[in-house]
Amino acid sequence: MGDVIVVTSGKGGVGKTTTSANIGTGLAAAGHNVVLVDTDIGLRNLDVVMGLENRIVYDIVDVTSGNCRLRQALIKDKRYENLYLLPAAQTKDKTAVNPEQMKALALELKNEFDYAIIDCPAGIEQGFRNAIAGADRAIVVTTPEVSAVRDADRIIGLLEAADLKNPRLIINRIRPAMVKRGDMMDISDIMDILAIDLIGVVPDDESIVISTNRGEPAVSDNSSHAGEAYRRITRRIQGEEVPLMNLEAPDGFMDKVKKFFGMR
Amino acid sequence: MLGYREEEESLLEFISRMLGKESSSKNIAKERLRLVLVHDRSDISPQMLNSLKEDLIKVISNYMDIDESALEVNLSQEDREVALVANIPVIRMRRDYASKDKVQL
């Protein structure tokens, strides 16, 4: 039986889709059979992040409503033949699927794959309820901003109320130089507030924009800083213990001045 | 030239911080989050407030008779403080309290 992992956040734009794409690709690179499921019906995006937008024939609503079989809707990845995408429908809305159908779908996916990564839509309404319905575990993505952390806190409460215990946290878009000068909450600040276990920290990195432009997740790019962070997260998902990346900003001119005066 | 630069703080920012003009924005963020989450979290579970209410009634009833139906427990926020505010109408003091050896919870 495979593992169904939902990637969620509450707030939009914190990197759920990018995270789903990278985790899924990373797990496939490690040799697992993986399916990525886009549940953001009406606003599908995982297809473009994966660079698979031209190959869509059927979508998740076709599967849950019995229009086609699961196999017909799955799109094989460009690079990894053990990685598939089940795209969201673009012309319908979130009420086109219900939690019961999602549970049945998750069960079917678990029989065929080692991992199913569910990309959850923003919000706490039916799209969210659908996305978490069949999940075994949850990953909450946040960024070091007041609004994103607040929404993550709300989502954690809802996940636990839905019996998805011990969600794991990814802190995305950390900017080490800002943390260093006290203008961005750091890992321990956010962990104190949210009080759940961390599964990874991803630095803010231009390579994510570039890899999204190309439709090739950064996790396969060995020179990408964020890609390295996702490689480590992928290993942790498989149960390995991996140290956090060193995100210390190098000393700049002002740090040297401060050190000289004994101020740090 | 446009585009952001997030490197080290400028000399001006450094000096103004040393002069104590502003606390780091991260601490402001943390403090604001702390306050807002007290409310958010209490909104998630009215059950919690309810069982708190029941426990309060149990404890206070050992000392005095209170009007349980009029009892109110709420969170209130004033500026930078969050407080638990309870309004508990007392009907009468319990006369038997003095004779008890120990308060039974």
**A146/B14 touch (CB, cutoff 8 Å), yes or no:** no
**B6/A193 touch (CB, cutoff 8 Å), yes or no:** no
In angstroms, the separation between the Cα of residue B33 and the nearest Cα of chain A is 6
Q: Which residues of A touch B47 (CB under 8 A)?
A: none
Q: What's this model's pTM, rounded to 2 decimal places?
A: 0.79
- Work out the pLDDT band at B1, boundaries 50, 70, 90: very low
Residue of B nearest to A158 (CA): B44
Q: Which residues of B touch A256 (CB under 8 A)?
A: none
Q: Which residues of A touch B14 (CB under 8 A)?
A: 254, 257-258
| Separation of CA A49 from chain center | 12
**A185/B41 touch (CB, cutoff 8 Å), yes or no:** no
Residue with tokens 């079989």, as numbered in its chain? A69
**B26/A254 touch (CB, cutoff 8 Å), yes or no:** no
pLDDT in tens, chain A (264 residues): 999 999 999 999 999 999 999 999 999 999 999 999 999 999 999 999 999 999 999 999 999 999 999 999 999 999 999 999 999 999 988 889 999 999 999 999 999 999 999 999 999 999 999 999 999 999 999 999 999 999 999 999 999 999 999 999 999 999 999 999 999 999 999 999 999 999 999 999 999 999 999 999 999 999 999 999 999 999 999 999 999 988 876 666 767 776 677 665
DSSP state of B64: E
B37 touches chain A (CB under 8 A): yes
In angstroms, the separation between the Cα of residue B18 and the nearest Cα of chain A is 10
**A254/B29 touch (CB, cutoff 8 Å), yes or no:** no
Is this complex's ipTM strictly greater than 0.90?
A: no
Residue of A nearest to B14 (CA): A254
Q: What is the CATH number of the domain that holds A34?
A: 3.40.50.300
**A161/B44 touch (CB, cutoff 8 Å), yes or no:** yes
Residue with tokens 């993505």, as numbered in its chain? A141
> At residue A17, what is the residue type?
T
* Number of compact structural domains in chain A: 1
Q: CA A28 → CA A85, A217, A255, distances in Å?
A: 12, 12, 42
DSSP reduced 3-state for B39: helix
Q: What is the pLDDT of residue B102?
A: 52
A10 lies in which domain range? Answer: 3-260
Sorted by sequence, the CB contacts under 8 Å of residue A227 that are 6+ apart come out as: A22, A207, A211, A217, A218, A219, A220, A221
Q: Is B25 exposed, middle or buried (0-12, 13-18, 19+ CB in 10 A)?
A: middle
For residues B88 and B59, give the distance between their C-alpha atoms in angstroms, rounded to a whole number.
12
